[in-house]
Amino acid sequence: DSMASRDCGWIQFFAENAQELFDLVIMAFRIAEDERVQLPVMVNAKGFYCTHVIEPLIILDQEEVEKFLPPKKIPKYALNPDNPTTWGCVAFPDVQTEIKKQWDDALRNSIKVIREVFREYGSLFGRNYDIIETYRMEDAEVGLLLMGYACGTCRVAVDALREKGEKVGMIKLRIFRPFPFDDLAAASKNLKAIGVFDEAISIGGVGGPLFGEVRSALYSLEKRPEVLGFIQGIGGRDIKVDDFIRAYHEIKSVLSGEKKIENDFMFLQVRE
């Protein structure tokens, strides 16, 4: 659902677990209402895995939340029955280009505020968040890149492959909009290949939406890794450790020249 809305102009976060979901929702209010942003924030989480599974969760007291969030302030563009105004009821072609440009600038610039809020939240409550998080990437030649709940499963797969001597790590994107171009380039600068995992597909297009974004983001780099896409978890199907391990071996086969993946993406978990 979120991928179908990726161009609606909202900030998009992806939570891995219930703790992240709780923390990101609180931070989302702070970010969205910042006068430098003033944009909706969509916090995405996997149903059932973040809502019906038992796991430890640290809940902030109301006083702590109020300390972090600024006092409620009605923005000047709000719909207020006590002060009725009309905003943006129609925009003709002579102003649409300027509106979209301002909107794009605001969304891109919001990443500065997101970083500020992440840092402040971590300093207050001890749970530190970043735009991108990496796992066992120090000497990795292949990175497995994904968002959301399956990151925990991917870490187990990375550990299993590392035990066999494979130089592989994980790149976790916490935000999808604004897209973290610079952070992604820094995280992947030493890689030979990146496997990008989508739980959605752009039917008739170039694989999954995240795959297309990552490949486009890295295309202009002088030294860029091979980017391959893998589609899994469609309709909520369980994503297993073996799915990531299989994808890794597919990547290795492409790097060695043993195999060519048509259109650079493939479906995992398809029953033949």
Residue 82 tokens, joined: 């006590």
CA dist 139 and 2 (Å) reads 33
Given pLDDT bands bounded at 50, 70 and 90, which one contains residue 198? very high
CA 163 to chain CA mean position, Å: 28
Is 272 a domain residue? no
Total of domains in the chain:
2
Last residue of a domain, one of 125, 158, 176: 125
Residues whose CB falls within 8 Å of the CB of residue 261, separated by 6 or more in sequence, listed in order? 228, 250, 254
Which tens digit of pLDDT belongs to each residue from 103-145? 999 999 999 999 999 999 999 999 999 999 999 999 999 999 9
Last residue of a domain, one of 99, 125, 151: 125
Supply the pTM of this predicted model: 0.93
Query: Is 150 found in the same domain as 85?
Result: no
Which tens digit of pLDDT belongs to each residue from 45-80? 988 888 888 899 999 999 999 999 988 877 777 778
Residue 230 tokens, joined: 């893998």
Give the strand pairing for 142-146 and 193-198: parallel
State the CATH number of the domain containing residue 183.
3.40.50.920
Helices (H), 145-240: 151-163, 181-187, 209-219
State the CATH number of the domain containing residue 9.
3.40.50.970
Please report the pLDDT score of residue 152 as a whole number.
96
Please report the pLDDT score of residue 184 as a whole number.
97
Residue 223: give the domain boundaries.
132-267
